[in-house]
Structure formats: structure tokens, C-alpha cells
Amino acid sequence: MNERRFKKRTLFLIAYLIFALLPIYWMVNMSFKTNQEILSSFTLWPQEFTWANYQTIFTDPSWYSGYINSLIYVAINTVISLTVALPAAYAFSRYRFLGDKHVFFWLLTNRMTPPAVFLLPFFQLYTTMGLMDTHIAVAMAHLLFNVPLAVWILEGFMSGIPREIDETAYVDGYSFPRFFFTIFLPLIKAGVGVAAFFCFMFSWVELLLARTLTSVNAKPIVATMTRTVSASGMDWATLAAAGVLTIVPGAIVIWFVRHYIAKGFAMGRV
């Protein structure tokens, strides 16, 4: 009976992996084909293998600048989100004040709101302040969604740290900055990794705000990929190569924080 269950679970896992990896494989497969082969035949692997699509992305400024712009504003947003969320999460986990639960819930409602709701206010504000088409514009807009998420994740990790550690450090003469950075922060490094991962991923894949608030100088790769139609039609091969390269940063981040994400699942905050 156990052996039969094991076989069923194995078959289900294999089927799930095939279902999950098939779109990625097909995108990689298309990235090494020509547009003619993509549109004319159905092949499981390239019949005319070519690197031209990747060469286009690495040599055309309109393509590779999109990756650079995305990395710049994603890095800015992640750093600012964690800088703001760490003290806020510590306050929610250690102190009780009037309306604390309501404020915490209000933060989460911002994360639940569709980005389209804030599109017009951001557009008018940035146009007035001259921040349109800048990296900081997109990074600041994404703070509205990433900070509540980071606070919620970090608060869960911080609540799991006994308060006696704080009291002992104060008795030993530690100042708050020294205690926070030398004792407390290393204890929640898993939470910081998880929060950084989700902030990175949201900013990396978000399209609506990034596309609307930029035009040329700070246009991200997600916006560039939506503008691949020319007089000759859709450039499927180059678009597939861009998609493959878009997955790479996320895969690298996941590799470095995979253990922290597993711990986040175990604590119920992911």
C-alpha cells in the first residue's frame, strides 16, 4: 500500500515538474530559433540553431539598457524598503500603542490594492515634480507596495525573538543602534532575506507603473518587451531571448535566499 502511494506521489511530482518547466523550456527553445522557423514549423528543438537573438539584446542599447534600468530601480527600491521596514516592524513587534492593529491592517490594505488605483496620482505628482522617466520615480512608487509586505514579513520573524534578549542587552549597556545591528539583526537575517526577495521580485516583474512612469531614460526591460512589434510583425525570437534573460536575475536571487524562504514558510510568513 505504501509503495503504491509512493509511486502515485512520484508520478504526480514528475507530471507537475513537466507542466511547470515546459513553458520555460519552450521559451529557451524559441530563443535559439529564427522567426521563420518559429512561424513555419513545430519543432521540439531548433533546426537552425542561432545566437543572433541574444547578440541583438547584448548589442542593441534599446534592449540591454532596459536590464540596466530595471536593476537600478529594483536595487534602490529593495534597499529603501528594507531600511524603512526594519524599524517599523520592530515597533510593531515590541511595542503596543493606540491603534497599532489598525495601522498594521492599513499597511496591508495598501499591498492589496491594484497598482492601477495609484497610477494617476503618481503620474500627476511626478509630472509636477519633474521626476517622470527617472529610476527613483519607479523605485518610490513601488515602495507603496513593498514596504507593507516587508513590514508584515519582518514583524513575524521579530515576534519570534524573545524580548528578554532586548532587556538583557539594555542591562549590559548596549545602545539601541548597537544592539539592533550587532545582536538583533543577525537573529532575523532569514527574515531580511525573505523580505528582500519579495521586494526584488515585485519590482522586477511589475509592469503597469514601470511602463507608465518611464519613457526613454529609465524604461525597464518589462516595458521594452511589450514594444517588439515592427512593420514585419512580432519579433518572437528576440522576445523569447529577452524572456530567458529576464528569468536569470530572479533565479540567482532565489538561489541565494532559498534557505531563508524555506524558513519563512515554516514560520507561516511566506
Higher pLDDT, 226 or 196: 196
Residue 228: exposure state from Cβ atoms within 10 A (0-12, 13-18, ≥19): middle
Quick check: 225 and 67 in contact, CB under 8 A?
Answer: no
Taking each helix axis from N to C end, the angle separating 52-59 and 61-94, rounded to the nearest 10 degrees, works out to 70
Mean pLDDT for 138-160 is: 90
**pLDDT at 139 exceeding the cut of 90:** yes
Q: What gap in Å lies between CA 74 and CA 138, rounded to an integer?
A: 9
In this structure, what are the phi and psi dihedrals at residue 234, rounded to the nearest 5 degrees? -75, 130
Q: What gap in Å lies between CA 8 and CA 19, rounded to an integer?
A: 16
Higher pLDDT, 3 or 215: 215
Q: What gap in Å lies between CA 134 and CA 16, rounded to an integer?
A: 41
Higher pLDDT, 231 or 83: 83
For residue 119 the three cell numbers come to: 497610477
Specify the pTM. Answer: 0.84
Q: Looking at residue 234, what DSSP letter applies?
A: E
Interval 241-255: pLDDT, tens: 998 999 888 888 888
Q: Angle CA(93)–CA(94)–CA(95) in degrees, nearest 5?
A: 110
Highest mean pLDDT among 28-42, 65-79, 113-127, 256-270: 65-79
Q: What gap in Å lies between CA 89 and CA 85, rounded to an integer?
A: 6
Q: What gap in Å lies between CA 32 and CA 34, rounded to an integer?
A: 7
Mean pLDDT for 70-76 is: 94
Other CB atoms within 10 Å distance of the CB of residue 12: 10
Interval 10-53: pLDDT, tens: 888 888 888 888 889 999 999 898 888 888 878 888 888 889 89
Lowest average pLDDT, out of 169-183, 186-200, 252-266, goes to: 252-266
For the chain, list the domains and their CATH numbers.
Answer: 60-263 (1.10.3720.10)
Higher pLDDT, 246 or 227: 246
